[in-house]
Structure 1
């Protein structure tokens, strides 16, 4: 079983929160651990945003809990009523994401012994904030997220899977079960990659002073994602429409060769980003799109009217894929030249 950095950081944050409460002789340290678990997020900015939002809602929750203690007491019915009021106010103020920990805070405060209500409640309130602060510090200093490395690795993994599917889509070498499983895996990976890019871009935008990132490189990463996404759409369209057109062996070869051509250059453009191959000659961009246009012209000439629509759908997907790759090549070229 492989433990990811977030799992390890959660364990460390809980441990430190409990230890700090023990050193400060604060009671109910378990609430610090709960707060640390709720607060820790995949990104540093996400954790900071969670702390900020939790501080706001916890102050609100503590205030409502103190009022509830003063006017209603701490019997189960009163606690339930206060929680209903708190959730309603939180949703009204669009603070729904932080309701869980705020409810825990209210429960912690309102379950204080009768003769020590305020002291005990304040203790639990402080303990909760210790847990949140610990989660933030752990996320900053323990295994700080390497967004660029994680994104590039995931992107290369997705490309390798798309490459296998693209090279076997027409030849139909994979079993139907394997092809479907691989397609589902790629679809899920693309969704995860999109989430990683959002974290990456958010971190770059919100914490530019802490993590300096080249905006040009962010644009390249976004185009990498678009290219993968369009490659997957090509695979979906081929799976849905191609074989219903009953292609001949010659037509299969035509498609197979051009898909191989596209995936080859997709790989070259990614290697170019890594600085592993030489920069293009100026004529490559024009040649790349001309090859695709020539391919589509042959396709539309070879099929009869009964299958023109299906071929037009597949042809449009392939043309868009080539366009996205051409755009990727241009952006990588610009990025590499300015970096040098």
Structure 2
């Protein structure tokens, strides 16, 4: 069966096309001689979030300035010398690695080549124009990402966090019933949430939107870490353990129904098992309460909370 969802055009794709169109229109109005650099700047600055777009824009501008400056120096001292052209490229690349500007390396190298190979006498003016070209493209991309269909990273993050919670809850339920569970998948999901939470914090710092309580999200992730470690520990114990009445009550509170004979006695090893299980269940309840609080504070729609 054909999955038609892969044919859907993403919002980032649409905004990239819009950014290129607007930036090229501006380049035409300003009668810029190399509008291609305007388009390249717009394409490379468009990212999945406002903060990423802003950071990418800053990095692209720094990369352009580096490429322009190195290209300008080499074009004055070693004009049209292809050996020093290669040396210049090496220097540009090395500067980017030193300052960890790897994502702007390609654009910087292109700007260096354009300036070094330029035969015009007004090299300084040409270099300045390349910086202006890139700035226009970058500025348009950042503004469009900010004002046009701003990425809703807040809701997406919280829905992902809710999904991780549900997966963790299901994993605990499966584990109690003696089924095999994958802790690796849980850890991977939590790492993705951490990255998204950092991105959300950067977005909220950059925009004037309501500030998300990213600290609460970090607390939930910390609780999930504790659950992960507790499951990892009791996984080494025997799977068939008698659950205490206190933990059975907590399971019912979490809508987990476990059938167990009331006559089953708690053995020594069961005490250790129930200690860790109690920590897991209380942490699940705590996570659920915190998650609900965050969603209410950030006005997430009720249908997205379930």
Fold shared, TM-score > 0.5 on shorter chain: yes
Aligned partner of residue 254 in structure 1, secondary structure: coil
Q: Secondary structure at the match of 2:176?
A: coil
2:187 corresponds to 1:228: no
Consecutive unaligned residues of structure 1, counting only runs of 5 or more, are 268-297, 305-310
Distance 1:99 1:262, change over 3 A: farther
> Is residue 74 of structure 1 aligned with residue 40 of structure 2?
no
Which whole-Å CA distance do the structure 2 matches of 1:233 and 1:263 have between them? Answer: 23
CA distance in 2 between partners of 1:49 and 1:266 (Å):
44
Q: Distance in 1 between matches of 2:109 and 2:35?
A: 17
Match of 1:219 among 206, 215, 219: 215
The answer to whether the 8 A contact 2:75-2:117 is kept is no
2:187 corresponds to: 187
Distance 1:263 1:24, change over 3 A: farther
Structure 1 residues 255 and 47: CA distance shift in structure 2, 3 A: farther
Q: 2:112 aligns with which of 106, 109, 129?
A: 106
Offset at residue 166 of structure 1 (A):
1.8
Shift in Å at residue 76 of structure 1?
Answer: 3.4
CA 1:327–1:184 in structure 2 vs 1: closer, same or farther (change >3 Å)? closer
SS of the aligned residue for 2:79 comes to coil
TM-score, normalised to structure 1, is: 0.67
User: Any unmatched runs of 5+ in structure 2?
Assistant: 1-5, 257-264, 299-306
> Do the aligned partners of 2:223 and 2:283 also contact (CA within 8 Å) in 1?
yes
Q: 1:111 to 1:98 in 2, by over 3 A?
A: same
Check conservation: 1:31, 1:127, Cα contact below 8 A.
yes
Matched residue, 1:200: 200
Aligned to 2:164: 158
Match of 1:321 among 276, 280, 305: 280
Aligned-residue offset at 1:144 = 1.1
SS at match of 1:241: coil
| Offset of residue 154 of structure 1 | 0.8
Give the secondary structure class of the aligned counterpart of 1:167.
Answer: helix
In the TM superposition, what is the alpha-carbon distance from 1:114 to its structure 2 partner? Answer: 5.0
Alignment partner, residue 170 of structure 1: 176
Aligned partners of 1:112 and 1:303: how far apart in 2? 79
1:24 Cα deviation after fit: 3.3
1-structure distance, mates of 2:49, 2:106: 20
Tell me the C-alpha RMSD between the 2 structures. 3.9
Q: Is the 8 A contact 2:247 2:278 kept in 1?
A: no
Q: Which has the higher helix share?
A: 1
